[in-house]
């Protein structure tokens, strides 16, 4: 019977590979594959071919001798494995099921297969994923030359780690199902698991307190003393006992050479075998719970393929609308209203006010304490980084626009709206959300600069002028950024769809990279005339009307140019939206 | 009310609709029938302005769909076979949203009787995720009817409805036709079309095989027999294949 299951796995794998190879005949996948392969080579394969450079990279990354690096990796890796195992026991709130797909559940559950065979199928099917992930992680970790070992020991090490984690998750699922069938409540189970963990942490803290020592200023003075102290804590007391099996599993991966690998492999395989024995001994009726998991998984995949958000856990009542929407009025505001309802509920004006209040209060507190005042510099840097992230990555995340509405494009096109109205209406919600976030970053940055003071900060008037100018320019800049993915949605719906709906693969990864670089290019192109105009105006007028006034003049010019570009973009995308024939695009 | 002249729709080299011409006057219900792939959905989507026609002219309530799409769309409602709803808007919020798009004043007064007629008033504050397939269909219909359209296009409107829902839907379509709306509906359920439609148009491979009142089309394919049903007419007209 297992041969049938093996046939299913191998045939599915073969078909996936063939499908992905065949789709390379389409230019969008072909070019995506070239870019994806280039990215892969540059980031993963190149360092392997240059051993000395890889080792150098590892040294630079860790800044540690090889033995210290391995010791730290063992302790932190074991801690991560322990956290994973704990979550597997704590998180499930209802009967967890072994994760079968809807098709697997439909074909296999009614088939004349024993429960043990079903579990074997699950373990077997997880192996293809584990093998692929092991290879990927091997490429990733090979960049850290300090680890030692070879590609073979790393790949096999990763296989042992991932297999143990997979078996542990399966064992936890089956055990939890049995516990729940036995009447053990979620609260009792969580209490027991977390209690055990707390006991181990408590014993360790007590040991640190009595036998070791509390951290001193010297331990906190830098990375190396801090690392040294943390390792001492993690390698002693009750935590060490808890981490011990995890360290054994990590052993083959962290081995320096083949001899070390072989000696570490034995204990690791023993743990793997013990997990296998545990899973196979669990004779639990998991099918019902697995059907529930399969249905949820199916709904999630269907939503993802349709380009929608993941289905809500409990579909039911709606949210209070962001504002009252009367019948007559600008139709674009109806799209803003709808898309704000689509945004996460916590992203509301109250949150922005509270965060703004916290920023102001926090900065004032830092300014009032001489020993903490230096932290204002960090706040300023953090605000700058956050602002850049919001501006560059925000448009990829805030998708309450045409991208979110693409599955409903048929309905959008029946509305009595011109194309530009649909595009403008779509842009409003993400622009409002991202502008709000950007303003918070500007508030933090502006306050940090002002309160920190110093000659570089300039006079209050200059600071205020620059700040107001940035606040005014932020929304059109955000909208302009959003225009790029929205333009891509209507100009290349096939590409956009393929990114959202046709699974992964190196070609799809390449497509996303092309879009990311395209967005950066368009941003630079759009900013070029505005930047040049600002430069010319400041240089020409600062002698006549002063720097502050020249900056204001330049900001107004930038604002006019950005709004003009935005309007042209909205108009052009609107025209394209009116002509778009999605059925024809997706047939191509 | 609906005028179509020489409508063409091509997907690359494939012609889905070829030179289709017909008209639907106020009060008429035209049943669009044809085998799978005959071009029914493409025709309906061209008429509703969802996809651009490759050639020909479509006028809705006197407005050219290409030259003045906004005015044309203000007069029509399109009901797809699968209800397309916004999962984060409740039933009532859907109607509120549509009211703003079509500029319907006092929409709350209009929405309530509509929800009651379609028997979804109790679900007014529910999200689509909490509705059955039939309920979703009813909500999509309520959204389409809110602005009292003069022209309606139904693509397989009875899919997913229970027998009572089907009965109500037929009554609703006939009521709107009596009130003067021009309606085009496509369905494979021929016996139901026979009960609702005043006219029928048979499509095959994108071309019109026959059109006219049910009696006229029946007379053409009955070969002198009496009491020939639409199903038999359909099979004779299409030669029993696509």
Q: Pick left, alpha or beta for residue A237 (phi over 0 → left; psi -120 to 50 → alpha; otherwise beta).
A: left
Report the range of poorest mean pLDDT among A146-160, A183-197, B216-230. B216-230
Residue of higher predicted confidence among A361 and A297: A361
| Cβ partners under 8 Å of residue B60, min gap 6 | B1, B2, B47, B72, B73, B75, B76, B151
**pLDDT tens, position by position, B186-220:** 988 887 888 899 999 999 889 998 888 888 888 88
Angle at B203 between CA B198 and CA B204, to 5 degrees: 155
- Residue A455 has what pLDDT? 65
Residue in B49, B52, B89 closest to A318 by CB: B89
Residue of higher predicted confidence among A292 and A99: A99
Same domain, B128 and B181: no
| Cβ partners under 8 Å of residue A58, min gap 6 | A69, A143, A144, A145, A146, A147
**pLDDT tens, position by position, A364-417:** 988 887 767 777 888 888 999 999 999 888 888 888 888 888 778 888 888 999
Q: Under a CB-based contact definition with an 8 Å cutoff, are residues A448 and A383 in contact?
A: yes
For residue A347, give both structure tokens. Answer: 């992203």
Residue in A308, A312, A334 closest to B97 by CB: A334
Mean pLDDT of chain B: 87
- Residue A307 has what pLDDT? 54
Instruction: Scan for tokens 């030259």, then name that residue.
Output: B67
Return the CATH number at B39: 3.40.50.300
- Residue B1 has what pLDDT? 84
**pLDDT tens, position by position, A240-262:** 788 889 999 999 998 888 888 99
Q: Pick left, alpha or beta for residue B239 (phi over 0 → left; psi -120 to 50 → alpha; otherwise beta).
A: left
Burial A153-174 (b: 16+ CB within 10 A, else e): bbbbbbbbbbbbbbbbbbbbbb
How many contacts, defined by CB atoms under 8 Å, are there between A and B? Answer: 117
Angle at B205 between CA B203 and CA B211, to 5 degrees: 20
Report the range of poorest mean pLDDT among A276-290, A531-545, B151-165. A276-290
Which helix (H) or strand (E) segment is B21 a member of? strand B14-24
Q: Taking CB atoms and an 8 Å cutoff, what residues of chain B touch A317?
A: 90, 125-127
Q: Can you give the C-alpha Rg of chain A in angstroms?
A: 29
- Residue A569 has what pLDDT? 92
Q: Under a CB-based contact definition with an 8 Å cutoff, are residues A24 and A498 in contact?
A: no
- Residue A428 has what pLDDT? 94
Question: What is the maximum alpha-carbon separation in chain A?
Answer: 90
The reply to whether residue B51 touches residue A326, judged by beta carbons under 8 angstroms, is: no
- Residue A213 has what pLDDT? 65
Q: What percent of chain A has pLDDT over 70?
A: 84
pLDDT at A501 over 50: no
Bridge partners, B182 (sequence order): B151
Angle at A69 between CA A66 and CA A72, to 5 degrees: 150
Same domain, B15 and B95: no
Same domain, B71 and B153: yes
Closest Cα in chain A to B95: A327
Which helix (H) or strand (E) segment is A138 a member of? helix A115-141
pLDDT band at residue A500 under the 50/70/90 scheme:
very low
Q: Taking CB atoms and an 8 Å cutoff, what residues of chain A touch B12?
A: 584, 587-588
Residue at a domain's end among B118, B145, B172: B145
Report the distance separating Cα B48 and Cα B26, nearest Å.
17
Bridge partners, A295 (sequence order): none
Q: Is the ipTM of this complex over 0.90?
A: no
Closest Cα in chain B to A587: B11
- Residue A584 has what pLDDT? 57
* Integer angstrom CA distances of residue B30 from A349, A393, B1, B154: 50, 51, 12, 10
Q: What is the DSSP string of A88-129?
A: HHHS--S-------HHHHHHHSSSS--HHHHHHHHHHHHHHH
Question: Which of B198, B166, B165, B203 has its CA nearest to residue B181?
Answer: B198
Q: Under a CB-based contact definition with an 8 Å cutoff, are residues A415 and A405 in contact?
A: no
Question: Which of A291, A376, A339, A317 has its CA nearest to residue A96?
Answer: A291
Report strand pairing: B55-60 vs B2-11: antiparallel
The reply to whether residue A317 touches residue B127, judged by beta carbons under 8 angstroms, is: yes
pLDDT band at residue A57 under the 50/70/90 scheme:
very low
The pLDDT of A412-441, averaged and rounded, is: 93
Residue at a domain's end among B112, B130, B145: B145
**pLDDT tens, position by position, A224-235:** 777 777 777 777
- Residue A451 has what pLDDT? 86
The pLDDT of B22-43, averaged and rounded, is: 91
Residues, chain A, total? 588
The reply to whether residue A584 touches residue B12, judged by beta carbons under 8 angstroms, is: yes
A372 touches chain B (CB under 8 A): no
Q: Which letter does DSSP use for residue A216 in this model?
A: -
Same domain, B167 and B48: yes
Report the distance separating Cα A251 and Cα A428, nearest Å.
54
Report the range of poorest mean pLDDT among A299-303, A412-416, B188-192, B223-227. A299-303
Q: Taking CB atoms and an 8 Å cutoff, what residues of chain A touch B100?
A: 325-329, 331, 333-334, 337
The pLDDT of B102-117, averaged and rounded, is: 88
Count of the separate structural domains present in chain B: 2
Most confident range, picked from A84-88, A159-163, A186-190, A493-497: A159-163
**Looking at beta carbons, which pairs linking A562-568 to residues 24 or more positions away fall under 8 Å?**
A562/A473, A562/A476, A562/A477, A562/A480, A562/A526, A562/A530, A563/A476, A565/A480, A565/A526, A565/A529, A565/A530, A566/A476, A566/A479, A566/A480, A566/A483
Question: Which of B10, B72, B57, B2 has its CA nearest to residue B30?
Answer: B2
The reply to whether residue A416 touches residue B100, judged by beta carbons under 8 angstroms, is: no
Report the range of poorest mean pLDDT among A55-64, A172-181, A366-375, A436-445. A55-64
pLDDT at B10 over 70: yes
pLDDT at B169 over 80: yes
Residue of higher predicted confidence among A6 and B42: B42
Residue of higher predicted confidence among B40 and A499: B40
Q: Can you give the C-alpha Rg of chain B in angstroms?
A: 18
Same domain, B35 and B155: yes
Same domain, B153 and B228: yes
Report the range of poorest mean pLDDT among A25-29, A60-64, B203-207. A60-64
pLDDT band at residue A588 under the 50/70/90 scheme:
very low
Report the distance separating Cα A419 and Cα B207, nearest Å.
31
Same domain, B140 and B174: no
Question: Which of A487, A236, A444 has its CA nearest to residue A358?
Answer: A444
- Residue A188 has what pLDDT? 85
The reply to whether residue B97 touches residue A338, judged by beta carbons under 8 angstroms, is: yes
Bridge partners, B207 (sequence order): B204
Locate the domains of chain A by residue range: 1-49, 64-304, 331-587
Same domain, B71 and B185: yes
For residue A25, give both structure tokens. Answer: 């005949």
pLDDT at B114 over 80: yes
Q: What is the dihedral of CA A311, A317, A320, A322, to 10 degrees?
A: 20
Same domain, B68 and B179: yes
pLDDT at A128 over 90: no
Question: What is the maximum alpha-carbon separation in chain B?
Answer: 56
The pLDDT of B47-63, averaged and rounded, is: 90
pLDDT at A182 over 90: no
- Residue A64 has what pLDDT? 54
Bridge partners, B5 (sequence order): B57
pLDDT band at residue A303 under the 50/70/90 scheme:
low
**pLDDT tens, position by position, A84-124:** 988 888 888 777 777 887 777 777 777 777 778 888 888 88
Q: Is the dihedral of CA B64, B67, B73, B79 positive or negative?
A: positive
B83 touches chain A (CB under 8 A): no
Task: Print the domain residue range for B182.
Answer: 2-75+149-238
Closest Cα in chain B to A404: B86
- Residue A498 has what pLDDT? 45
A344 touches chain B (CB under 8 A): no
**pLDDT tens, position by position, A153-170:** 889 999 999 999 999 998
Same domain, B134 and B69: no
A313 touches chain B (CB under 8 A): no
pLDDT at B49 over 70: yes
- Chain centre distance of CA A315: 25
- Residue A67 has what pLDDT? 60
Please count the other Cβ atoms lying within 10 Å of the Cβ belonging to residue A424: 24
A333/chain B closest Cα distance in angstroms: 8
pLDDT at A267 over 70: yes
- Residue A411 has what pLDDT? 86
In chain B, % helix, strand, coil (3-state, to 5) comes to 40, 25, 35
Q: Which letter does DSSP use for residue B159 in this model?
A: T
Question: Which of A227, A232, A197, A199 has its CA nearest to residue A213?
Answer: A232
Counting Cα atoms < 13 Å in the Cβ hemisphere of A27 gives: 2
- Residue B240 has what pLDDT? 63
Same domain, B180 and B218: yes
Q: Under a CB-based contact definition with an 8 Å cutoff, are residues A12 and A20 in contact?
A: no
B46 touches chain A (CB under 8 A): no
**pLDDT tens, position by position, A547-581:** 788 888 998 999 999 999 999 999 999 998 888 87
* Integer angstrom CA distances of residue A511 from A190, A222, A400, A486, A500: 43, 42, 21, 16, 11
Q: End-to-end CA distance of chain B: give it in Å, rounded.
A: 30
Q: Under a CB-based contact definition with an 8 Å cutoff, are residues A565 and A525 in contact?
A: no
Q: Which letter does DSSP use for residue B188 in this model?
A: S
- Residue A60 has what pLDDT? 44
Report the distance separating Cα A333 and Cα A421, nearest Å.
10
- Residue B242 has what pLDDT? 42
pLDDT at A286 over 80: no
Same domain, B56 and B34: yes
Mean pLDDT of chain A: 81
B235 touches chain A (CB under 8 A): no
For residue A379, give both structure tokens. Answer: 């706040």
Report the distance separating Cα B146 and Cα B141, nearest Å.
9
Instruction: Scan for tokens 């439909």, then name that residue.
Output: A106
For residue A298, give both structure tokens. Answer: 């199916």
Q: Taking CB atoms and an 8 Å cutoff, what residues of chain A touch B105?
A: 327-328
The pLDDT of A68-83, averaged and rounded, is: 84
pLDDT at A582 over 90: no
**pLDDT tens, position by position, A212-226:** 666 666 666 666 777
B160/chain A closest Cα distance in angstroms: 19
pLDDT band at residue A356 under the 50/70/90 scheme:
very high
pLDDT band at residue B157 under the 50/70/90 scheme:
confident
B215 touches chain A (CB under 8 A): no
Q: Under a CB-based contact definition with an 8 Å cutoff, are residues A92 and A176 in contact?
A: yes
- Residue A203 has what pLDDT? 80
């Amino acid at each position: 019977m297992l041969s049938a299951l093996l046939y299913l796995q191998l045939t599915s794998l073969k078909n996936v590979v063939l499908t992905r190879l065949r789709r390379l005949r389409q230019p969008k996948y072909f070019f995506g594959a070239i870019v994806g392969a280039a990215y892969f080579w540059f980031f993963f394969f190149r360092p392997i071919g240059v051993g000395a450079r890889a080792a150098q990279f590892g040294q630079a990354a860790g800044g540690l001798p090889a033995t210290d690096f391995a010791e730290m990796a063992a302790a932190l890796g074991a801690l991560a494995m322990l956290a994973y195992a704990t979550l597997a026991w704590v998180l499930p709130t209802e009967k967890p099921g072994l994760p079968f797909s809807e098709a697997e559940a439909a074909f296999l559950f009614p088939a004349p297969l024993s429960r043990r065979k079903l579990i074997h199928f699950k373990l077997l099917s997880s192996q293809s994923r584990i093998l692929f992930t092991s290879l990927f992680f091997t490429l990733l970790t090979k960049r850290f030359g300090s680890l030692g070992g070879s590609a073979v020991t790393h790949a096999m090490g990763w296989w042992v780690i991932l297999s143990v984690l997979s078996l542990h998750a399966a064992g936890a699922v089956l055990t939890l199902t049995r516990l729940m069938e036995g009447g053990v409540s979620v609260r009792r189970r969580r209490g027991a698991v977390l209690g055990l963990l707390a006991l181990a942490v408590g014993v360790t803290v007590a040991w640190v307190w009595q036998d070791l020592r509390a951290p001193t200023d010297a331990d906190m003075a830098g990375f190396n003393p801090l690392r040294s102290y943390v390792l001492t804590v993690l390698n002693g007391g009750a935590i060490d006992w808890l981490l011990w099996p995890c360290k054994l599993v990590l052993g083959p991966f962290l081995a320096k050479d083949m001899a070390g690998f072989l000696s570490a492999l034995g204990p690791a395989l023993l743990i793997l075998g013990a997990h296998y024995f545990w899973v196979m001994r669990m004779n639990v009726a998991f099918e019902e719970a697995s059907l529930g998991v399969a249905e949820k998984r199916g709904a999630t995949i269907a939503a993802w393929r349709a380009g929608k958000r993941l289905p809500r856990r409990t579909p039911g009542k709606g949210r209070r609308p962001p504002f009252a929407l009367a019948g007559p009025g600008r139709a674009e505001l109806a799209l803003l209203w709808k898309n704000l309802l689509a945004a996460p509920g916590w992203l509301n004006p109250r949150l922005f006010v509270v965060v703004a209040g916290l920023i102001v209060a926090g900065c004032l507190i830092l300014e009032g304490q001489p020993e903490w005042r230096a932290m204002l510099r960090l706040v300023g840097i953090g605000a700058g980084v956050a602002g850049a992230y919001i501006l560059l990555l925000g448009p990829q995340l805030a998708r309450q626009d045409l991208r979110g509405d693409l599955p409903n494009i048929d309905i959008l096109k029946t509305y009595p709206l011109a194309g530009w109205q649909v595009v403008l209406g779509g842009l409003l919600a993400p622009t409002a959300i991202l502008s709000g976030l950007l303003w918070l970053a500007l508030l933090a940055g502006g306050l940090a600069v002002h309160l920190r003071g110093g000659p570089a900060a300039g006079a209050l008037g200059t600071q205020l002028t620059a700040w107001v100018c940035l606040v005014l320019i932020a929304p059109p800049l955000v909208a302009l950024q959003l225009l790029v993915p929205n333009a891509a949605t209507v100009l290349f719906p096939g590409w956009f769809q393929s990114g959202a709906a046709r699974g992964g693969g190196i070609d799809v990864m390449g497509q996303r990279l092309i879009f990311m670089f395209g967005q950066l290019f368009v941003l630079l192109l759009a900013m070029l005339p505005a930047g040049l105009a600002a430069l010319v105006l400041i240089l020409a007028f600062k002698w006549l009307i002063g720097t502050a006034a020249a900056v204001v003049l330049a900001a107004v010019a930038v604002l006019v140019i950005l709004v003009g570009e935005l309007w042209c973009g909205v108009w052009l995308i609107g025209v394209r939206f009116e002509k778009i024939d999605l059925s024809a695009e997706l047939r191509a | 009310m609906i005028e179509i002249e020489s409508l063409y729709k091509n997907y690359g080299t494939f012609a889905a609709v070829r030179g289709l011409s017909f008209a639907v006057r106020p009060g008429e219900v035209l049943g669009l029938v044809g085998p799978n792939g005959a071009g029914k959905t493409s025709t309906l989507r061209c008429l509703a302005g969802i996809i651009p026609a490759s050639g020909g002219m479509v006028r809705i309530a006197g407005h050219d769909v290409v030259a003045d799409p906004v005015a044309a769309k203000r007069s029509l409602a399109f009901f797809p076979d699968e209800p397309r709803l916004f999962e984060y808007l409740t039933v009532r919020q859907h109607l509120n949203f549509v009211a703003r798009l079509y500029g319907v004043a006092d929409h709350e007064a209009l929405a309530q009787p509509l929800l009651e007629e379609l028997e979804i008033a109790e679900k007014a504050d529910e999200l689509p995720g909490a509705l059955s397939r039939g309920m979703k269909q009813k909500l999509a219909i309520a959204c389409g009817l809110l602005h009292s359209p003069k022209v309606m296009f139904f693509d397989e409107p009875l899919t997913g409805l229970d027998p009572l829902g089907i009965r109500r839907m037929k009554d609703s379509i006939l009521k709107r036709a009596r009130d003067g709306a021009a309606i085009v509906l496509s369905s494979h359920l021929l016996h139901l079309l026979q009960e609702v439609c005043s006219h029928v148009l048979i499509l095959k491979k994108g071309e019109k095989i026959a059109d006219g009142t049910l009696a006229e089309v029946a007379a053409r394919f009955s070969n002198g027999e009496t009491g020939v049903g639409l199903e038999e007419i359909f099979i004779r007209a299409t030669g029993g294949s696509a």
